[in-house]
Amino acid sequence: MDITPVQSKNFLFKAPYRIKEEIETISAIPSEHYLIELEACGLCHSDLLWMAHRSKDWEKIGHEFGGKVRHCGDNTSKFQPGQQVAVKNAAPCGVCDHCTVGKARDCGDVIVNKSGFNQFFLAHERSMVDAEGLEGSLLGLVEPLGVANDVLKAAQIRPKDRVTIYGLGAIGLMAGWLCIQKGASGVYGCARSSKCFDLAEQFGFKKCFKPGEINETISNKILVFAPPGTLKDAVTLLMNDGLIVIAGLNDSDWDHWVPFNFESLIFKRASIIGAFGYPNLFFEDAVEQLKSGKDSLRQIITHQISFSNTPGLKEELLQSPDCIKAVFINKQAKQNSEVNA
Ligand SMILES: [Zn+2]
Ligand SMILES: [Zn+2]
């Protein structure tokens, strides 16, 4: 479908920490797609890794985002102009043999969306989730909260579980918050830096500590969002028959090996399983959780940065050791909504 051409300001990234602006003209919407104006995009640790050394050539990296529908293409039915939506970073087809048995990782038809630093972008209906009524900046937390849900599902968190969270970044904090909502009887937090301890305790964490500070068995489940080197420490805290779910990647690209005393695992009859929230299947849940938990969860966003200031990203973030989560806000979209209202 042809439309009146829209000029979109997009930002592309290349290691080390280079950002360039590009103007894209969008003059047609493919079938089953929508034109969306960005409202918010979160920046996460893996973005920083891409920016630091993984992006060998100019590319898009924004994958925690959402916006307002501005135009509906042909053969669309679910969303209306003006509607706020979260965009899935990866949307499996949902109908193939793999998807229908819950193995979406093996889907051969995943749509990948990384347009979170595009002022306007096109998205397939399958990639979109209704987020009407959600505070705009919280669109930047939908994807990471979906990852937290994925890890909780892998850990089968139940009421009365005693859980320790390793790594208190945005996902770790949200995972702890979710465990508390699900009735876990004691949630502990462990992190190298104490910057998030106050917020975690405000969320209802029982206690926060640094690695090595506690050496007794306090948890039957441990969720690891920190680099895998923490596994050694995590096994110490694990009760008999306990479970560790590990979702934390290393800071570096080279050190993926973790030596630790395997006998402690055997004698405790413990399990370690890996989790990887991709494709992320919990967007709908995350939107609802963000609506109900907004008063707590919005505090995770320590930095709201204007989308137009994206080129200043490096300086802003590197200078702020207090940053838990930065979300880029397209103020223009907000103004356009007010004009439309
Ligand atoms: Zn991310
Ligand atoms: Zn599929």
Q: State whether CATH 3.30.70.20 applies to domain 2-142+283-340.
A: no
- Name the pTM for this structure: 0.94
- Which part of the chain has CATH 3.90.180.10? 2-142+283-340
Residue 341 scores a pLDDT above 60:
no
pLDDT for residue 232 = 87
Question: For 215-237, how does the pLDDT look when each residue is reduced to its tens digit (9 = 90+)?
Answer: 999 999 999 998 888 888 899 99
Ligand closest to CA 326: 1
**Which tokens is 309 given?**
């200031």
How far, in Å, from the CA of 101 to the mean position of ligand 2?
Answer: 10
- Cα–Cα distance measured from residue 261 to residue 106, given in angstroms and rounded to the nearest whole number: 33
pLDDT, tens digit, 9 for 90 and up, residues 102-120 = 999 999 999 999 999 999 9
| pLDDT score, position 229 | 84
Q: What is the pLDDT of residues 78-98, one digit of tens each?
A: 999 999 999 999 999 999 999
Tokens for 48, please give them. Answer: 């920083």
Which ligand places an atom closest to the C-alpha of 325? 1
137 pLDDT higher than 60: yes
Ligand nearest to the CA of 109: 2
Is the CATH number of domain 145-274 3.40.50.720?
yes
Distance, in Å, from the CA atom of 271 to the CA atom of 57, rounded to the nearest integer, reads 40
Cβ neighbors of 191 (< 8 A, separation 6 or more) are 166, 167, 168, 172, 197, 208, 210, 226
For CATH 3.40.50.720, the residue range(s) in the chain are 145-274
Rounded CA separation 335/331 (Å): 6
